[in-house]
Structure 1
Amino acid sequence: MKQVSLSESELRRRRAWLARLAEEHPGQSATDPDLPAEIRAAFSLSEEAGAAFYGSLSDEDLLDVLRRRAEELGRSPAQKEIYWVWRAYLRQRFGKWPYALTAAGLSKSAGSGGKSLARQEEERRQRAALLSEVRRAAAELGRVPHPKDLPQVCEGLRREYATWADVLAAAGVERVRTVHPVTDLDARCRAMLEMLKAQAVELGRAPLRSEVDETLRGTLVNRCGSWRNVLYQIGLEPVVHISPFSGAALDRSPGRTRPHSTALYDCYYRLLSPGPDTRRNLTLVEELARSLGRPPKRGEVPAQVRRQLQDACGSWANALYQLGLHTEPQGAGAPVQK
């Protein structure tokens, strides 16, 4: 299709024309036999002039059409309640009608049986209040809140979000590192920390909670305040999920929950004593990243180097983590609860 350029004055004229048509014939269809050919030529996406006009419209221009119609109806409009030109443009831009409604900040429940705007606004206020509660809990706890800390929030948001990770992202709760030195530990706790440090050296990384003797772990957590702060006393950070809480469904009904993963491939953790091959290959990747100006992709690294690092680090993502070339965990960096 040959591209057509429309002047600013012509674009304004067509917008005014389209506004009149939408007001006079809101339910008209593109297949209406009485639709004048000049209207089809001016606005249809299959016509050069129509495609040019469509291209001049921003996302907000199109979404405002939905919002204005919603104000008129008092609810989210169904497709048939939007003039055919706008309907075609919205579907072209956003793919599906529910996607367009969501982008406009409207409920996907459209048509005469849909939620009223007043109801939608009330739900937005309730959602904002619950997300505020998540932020408040994070501030008070000094860590990322767990779903079990806020059962009422989970219940209130389970129809809005699929996982707790989604809730944390919506609430804007970032990774929390509230640690501090504990200077008045008694001899027993100091001895326990030495035992924990020896275990970390043996593992080559910070131990998971489940790998530590329950009595030792409980004593140190009670004394230091958190598992993260226990590890901080011996210069370590906990193993963290790359995408924390991504498997923590808000709907806790049978069959909807998954146990905590016991694998390290989806985690970030520091190698305490990487071997000579690992150190050499990490240096190669670091030099490659410097030359590329970004973290290298798997295919850009020699296969032998990549395989060795994946074996030593548990995953390619964790290999990049050793060099600070990783992506921060989304929403929160909660310690792995294993």
Structure 2
Amino acid sequence: MIQQLAQQNPPEYMASGDQEKELRAHYQALTLSSSLGMAVYSSYSNGDLLDVLRDTASRMGRAPTQGEIFFLYRTYLKARFGTWPAALRAVGMRRLPAPDLIMPDWEQVLLEEPEICKFLEDVTDRRCRLGYPPRKRDVPYSKLLCERFHSWENVVAAADAFQKWQEERRNSVNK
């Protein structure tokens, strides 16, 4: 049934957002806020949900954006995998940052490049607000961060690492 709905409402039809709002209201019973929606969501295996991404990517020739996936599938994918990038990684469409990325000495960065630390904190705050990493184009100082860390994926990884370092630092001071 959801597959038929998705086929009847392709992404180009949903472009304005009003159509999606209308469909969301009409199919509220299939969202995760209802017991029926939870039952439908639970009926999908990880593989079933990832096949939606694979099929769409196959048709498009690239990894789909969230707006290119029918809203119920998108909701289910993000609920199952936590974030959109995590769903893309699970299907092999988005790589984790390069394993050879060497994180800097955060103490030194904090002293020598405090603006970088503030920018990384902002990336983390945006990630928390959005529920997924912000896009490069949504961060005004992304170019500066990419120059420092060599890619946007590395910036996101550095923001995560900096946040963990700060938490560990706070925890060790509080002991």
TM-score, normalised to structure 2, is 0.50
Determine which structure has more spread, i.e. the larger CA radius of gyration. 1
